Structure 1
Amino acid sequence: MVPPPFSPGTGGPVFQNRPRSLLWEAAHAERAALADDLALLDGGQWARQSLCGRWTVQDVTAHLTAAASLGPARWFSSVIGARFDFDLHNDRRMAEHRGATPAETLAQFRTIINSSASAPGPTEAWLGEVVVHSEDIRRPLGILRDVPLDTVTAVAGFYARRNLAVPSRTMVEGLRLEAVDGPFAAGTGPLVTGTTLALTMAMAGRAAYLAELTGPGVETLRSRFVP
């Protein structure tokens, strides 16, 4: 299938308006690619700190499994049971899907590769979960992946427009973002440039990617990161 043309200057390609099924196909492909990378890790790498707060590589993998195992009804039940403490909700669900060994955690992750279950919300948000958390795992391990440009551009466009799982729109408010490797562009103000992936990860609050960005708006963006 040939993708539709990009829509310059709108914050993302027409890809973001495609049927949800195609966005889910992209999420499934990114999960499969991550599973292949995880299969090559040793025990020490599974225990490595990820870019996602206090969670290790194994924890983040289990979190991705949990996220793809809950539909809206079970998600609401879990959140209510945690008294709307989303950190507690995430920790409980992650613990459910964290195996006794890395091999068990990976085996559970493989079972949800083609899942389209999710919490309520736009599909771009859940595609973003997969893209961002995969990088949370890969970056500390020095693993590189060329995420398909249309996939990461769809996430970047969504992040520039909406706060949901992460306060991405607030993070870049008053800034102009322009990708150097694709059509993504959004916002007005001091310029920040970089790859679409680096811009996406910065919007998701990952300071490790700030070094890959350039332009007069970078220092403003950097000041918004909480140590």
Structure 2
Amino acid sequence: MDLWPLIHAERGALAEDLATLNDTQWDSPSLCGEWTIREVVAHMSAAASVGRLRWFRSVLGARFDFGLHNQRRLAEHLGATNADTLAEFRRIIPSTTAPMGPAAAWLGEVVVHTADIRRPLGIDRTPPVEVVTEVARFYASRDFAVPSRSAAKGLRLEAIDGPFSSGEGPLVRGTTLALTMAMAGRAVFCDDLTGDAVTVLRGRCHHINP
């Protein structure tokens, strides 16, 4: 399945939401570490603009300090104003550039960061369940950008709104998005989950660097 059209569609949907934000909202905290909404958007633009060779050069230049690498690339795409940041993000909507890894990882990048933005702003939009299911399956099967497979290890995850299920062990149930975001380390989404192992999954979220 070609996932790039899904990536482009979710970027486009996020751009529509971003166009409605005021300056205070742009500067408000996201769910992604210490970054503001504006910084997460700039990070997404950077991720869609850096190919494999440049990524390696950037990481080497930062002496494998991935936080420094991310901050340097983020600064390149932040822009002088919120409008500039949005314009740069709109530019990369059709991009298929990525540092490395399968397209499912970059679909995950978009799904997770759009939720990082929408949840704290109270924006009620969720990607289609078939889109999030692709990410949930990838996260449950592999540690890539985040240790998502490790977070889900020894647990039974079951979606209540789609076909996703994974693992054996104590049960965690919820929407596909909530399960995906919990695997990505966003503990606040554990509030949306039920089952005997929610506390276990929540505890593992605190050990994941977003």
In the superposition, the TM-score normalised over structure 1's length comes to 0.90
Counterpart residue number, 1:223: 203
- 5+ residue gaps in structure 1? 1-17
The question of 1:30 aligning with 2:21 is answered no
- 5+ residue gaps in structure 2? none
Deviation, 1:226, is 2.0
Q: Tell me the amino acid that sits aligned with residue 119 of structure 1.
A: P
Counterpart residue number, 2:108: 128
**Superposed CA offset, 1:117-161 (max 9, x none):** 001111100110000001101111000113111110000000000
CA RMSD, Structure 1 to Structure 2 (Å): 0.9
1:107 & 1:225 partners in 2: Cα distance? 33
1:146 & 1:52 partners in 2: Cα distance? 17
In the superposition, the TM-score normalised over structure 2's length comes to 0.97
Q: Tell me the amino acid that sits aligned with residue 220 of structure 1.
A: V
Counterpart residue number, 2:78: 98
Counterpart residue number, 1:55: 35
Q: Tell me the amino acid that sits aligned with residue 123 of structure 2.
A: I
Q: Tell me the amino acid that sits aligned with residue 192 of structure 1.
A: V
The question of 1:185 aligning with 2:142 is answered no
Deviation, 1:39, is 0.3
Identity across aligned pairs (percent)? 63
Q: Name segments (4+ residues, structure 1) moved above 4 Å.
A: none
The question of 1:113 aligning with 2:81 is answered no
Deviation, 1:48, is 0.4
Which of 175, 191, 196 does residue 211 from structure 1 map onto? Answer: 191
1:165 & 1:146 partners in 2: Cα distance? 22
Corresponding residue pairs, total = 207
Deviation, 1:208, is 1.1
Deviation, 1:172, is 1.0
